[in-house]
Amino acid sequence: MNQEIENFIKLVKINTISGSGVSSGGYRNCAKEISNQCREIGLDTKTLELVEGKPIVVASHYGEDRNLPSLLLTGHYDVVPCDPEKWTVDPFADEKVYGRGTQDMKCCLAAYIECLRRIKGVYILSIKKIKGIGITLIPLLDEEIGGADGMGKFVETNFFRSLNVGFALDEGLASPTHQVPVYFGERAIWWIKLKATGDTGHASRYLAPNGAMEKIHRCCDRALAFREKEAKKYRNGTDIGDIITLNLTSLKAGKTSDGGLTYALNVIPSEAEAGFDIRIPPTIQDLVTFENDLKNELTKGEDGIEYILINGMKVNPSTSLDIKKNLWWERFQKTCLNLGLEIVPQIFPAATDSRFLRAKNIPCLGFTPIPNTKVLFHDHDEYLPIDVYMNSITIYLEMIKDLVNLVD
Ligand SMILES: [Zn+2]
């Protein structure tokens, strides 16, 4: 087996499921493997632990002038959990590059490292040609659980600022066709909770409409009516990245004294809660006004309803696709054209680490160059065909070479 594939498999075999990556030591083991691979090819490699047990690896190949902006190749090494009994192969086995993370997104990390190895090996003498722009690879963690301890913390460090990142590549999605999606923005993610309080008493009475249940029910009805308006656009063919999705994802109520095993069905509960996941496209830029409007729409000013924003972005800039404003995009497009790779600019339907970079006004594209591949992100039997992986290295290599030649 060739070295590129062996190195990829080494990363896949380390169990880095978010949530247990700290206690299992998987995060540290994976970071160590990545940092060994980077050191081996002569990159200036550092490991930071901004949160204990959650290492971030920074590997750089600097050019002559460190003041020039750098190209950032970023990705997460954590993976989502899996149901081993639903897999027909061991999810951390090495056959045929099956395994959790082969698409999302250890393939990208391994391909970045391989590109840097080739650049270091072959292009070392042409360092003048790349005008001193540095290349930095940063594998991060916790992306699958929000990224707050990973990219979220890292972008706030002086070390990050010292990298002077001009442009970044992060993850996209696999594509079942020859066209590869390129994500220039993503929907803002919001988690909100509505908590209703109301009169309580024996369930043989009529307390409505002041019961917590009635109140939360009315809020949910309004939320579902809002949802239906957006769902209609989706059914009429609007791309999911361009509409608001709103889903009722938790409901909690009922009088219980044993942690929810049994409920007193003859008691009107004094509290009821509903939780929602909301994704907002970047076409809505004034998120503060949007939040106020949504809050009013769902609660209609009823008494005894508390609105709680658990997690909500207040800014959500996209990366400009105007070649006059974003020369990196011009170069990106040209490289794809030269490679015969058809790209489709889109809004990412979910959230990735890219949002932390865009919030710092760093242009960033989500790009996983694995066309003609069944999309198996977060799915059972996740795998990547070896020829697709090898081709992704070729694409990334051309892309990196073109991008770092950007400044003349
Ligand atoms: Zn991912």
Q: What is the CA radius of gyration of the chain?
A: 24
Domain at 212, CATH number: 3.30.70.360
Per-residue pLDDT tens digits for 132-173: 466 778 888 888 888 889 999 999 999 999 888 999 999 999
Distance of CA 42 to the CA centre of its chain: 29
| 47 burial type by CB count under 10 A (0-12 exposed, 13-18 middle, 19+ buried) | middle
In this prediction, residue 182 carries a pLDDT of: 97
At residue 252, does pLDDT exceed 80?
yes
Distance CA 82, CA 86 (A): 8
Considering the domain architecture, whether residues 331 and 372 belong to the same structural domain is answered as yes
Range of the domain at 20: 3-186+316-404
Confidence grade of residue 124 (pLDDT, cut at 50, 70, 90): very low
Query: What's the gap in Å between 333 CA and the centre of ligand 1?
Result: 23
In this prediction, residue 94 carries a pLDDT of: 47
Distance CA 13, CA 98 (A): 10
Please state the domain count of the chain. 2
Query: What's the gap in Å between 130 CA and the centre of ligand 1?
Result: 30
Distance CA 253, CA 288 (A): 30
380 known member of a binding site: no
Considering the domain architecture, whether residues 350 and 257 belong to the same structural domain is answered as no
Distinct helix (H) and strand (E) counts, the chain: 10, 14
In this prediction, residue 68 carries a pLDDT of: 78
Per-residue pLDDT tens digits for 374-385: 989 888 888 898
378 known member of a binding site: yes
Confidence grade of residue 126 (pLDDT, cut at 50, 70, 90): very low
Considering the domain architecture, whether residues 140 and 164 belong to the same structural domain is answered as yes
- Predicted structure pTM score: 0.80
Considering the domain architecture, whether residues 249 and 156 belong to the same structural domain is answered as no
Q: Which residues are known catalytic residues?
A: 78, 143
Considering the domain architecture, whether residues 46 and 110 belong to the same structural domain is answered as yes
Query: What's the gap in Å between 108 CA and the centre of ligand 1?
Result: 10
What proportions of the chain, in percent to the nearest 5, are helix, strand and coil? 35, 25, 40
312 - beta bridge partners?
190
Per-residue pLDDT tens digits for 87-107: 777 655 544 688 899 999 999
> Which region among 126-140, 240-254, 285-299, 337-351 has the lowest average model confidence (pLDDT)?
126-140
At residue 127, does pLDDT exceed 70?
no
At residue 67, does pLDDT exceed 80?
no
At residue 356, does pLDDT exceed 90?
yes
Considering the domain architecture, whether residues 71 and 90 belong to the same structural domain is answered as yes
- Angle in degrees, CA 178, 181, 182, rounded to 5: 135
Domain at 360, CATH number: 3.40.630.10
Query: What's the gap in Å between 271 CA and the centre of ligand 1?
Result: 37
In this prediction, residue 406 carries a pLDDT of: 52
Considering the domain architecture, whether residues 140 and 286 belong to the same structural domain is answered as no
Are the C-beta atoms of 175 and 341 separated by less than 8 Å?
Answer: no
In this prediction, residue 315 carries a pLDDT of: 87
In this prediction, residue 82 carries a pLDDT of: 84
> Which region among 48-57, 72-81, 83-92 has the lowest average model confidence (pLDDT)?
83-92
End-of-domain residue from the set 293, 312, 331: 312
Distance CA 37, CA 33 (A): 6
104 known member of a binding site: yes
Query: What's the gap in Å between 101 CA and the centre of ligand 1?
Result: 8
Per-residue pLDDT tens digits for 4-44: 889 999 999 999 999 899 999 999 999 999 999 999 988 88
94 known member of a binding site: no
In this prediction, residue 129 carries a pLDDT of: 45
Query: What's the gap in Å between 222 CA and the centre of ligand 1?
Result: 33
Considering the domain architecture, whether residues 95 and 21 belong to the same structural domain is answered as yes
SS3 state of residue 174: coil
Average pLDDT over the chain, rounded to an integer = 89
| Helix H or strand E segment including 389 | helix 386-404
At residue 278, does pLDDT exceed 90?
yes
Where is pLDDT greater, at 86 or 245?
245
Distance CA 268, CA 109 (A): 54
Are the C-beta atoms of 72 and 163 separated by less than 8 Å?
Answer: yes
At residue 408, does pLDDT exceed 50?
no
Distance CA 205, CA 386 (A): 67
In this prediction, residue 121 carries a pLDDT of: 58
In this prediction, residue 158 carries a pLDDT of: 94
Considering the domain architecture, whether residues 90 and 221 belong to the same structural domain is answered as no
At residue 63, does pLDDT exceed 80?
no
- Angle in degrees, CA 254, 274, 199, rounded to 5: 45
At residue 208, does pLDDT exceed 70?
no
**Token duo for residue 226:** 């809002």
Q: DSSP code of 152?
A: I
214 known member of a binding site: no
End-of-domain residue from the set 259, 280, 312: 312
Considering the domain architecture, whether residues 85 and 46 belong to the same structural domain is answered as yes
- What is the residue-wise DSSP string for 368-379? ----S----TT-
End-of-domain residue from the set 249, 283, 312: 312
At residue 264, does pLDDT exceed 70?
yes
At residue 137, φ and ψ (nearest 5 deg) are -110, 125
> Which region among 125-129, 191-195, 219-223, 231-235 has the lowest average model confidence (pLDDT)?
125-129
Instruction: State mean pLDDT over 230-238.
Output: 95
Considering the domain architecture, whether residues 294 and 330 belong to the same structural domain is answered as no
Query: What's the gap in Å between 114 CA and the centre of ligand 1?
Result: 19
Considering the domain architecture, whether residues 180 and 192 belong to the same structural domain is answered as no
Strands (E), 221-304: 245-253, 267-268, 271-280
Distance CA 341, CA 327 (A): 19
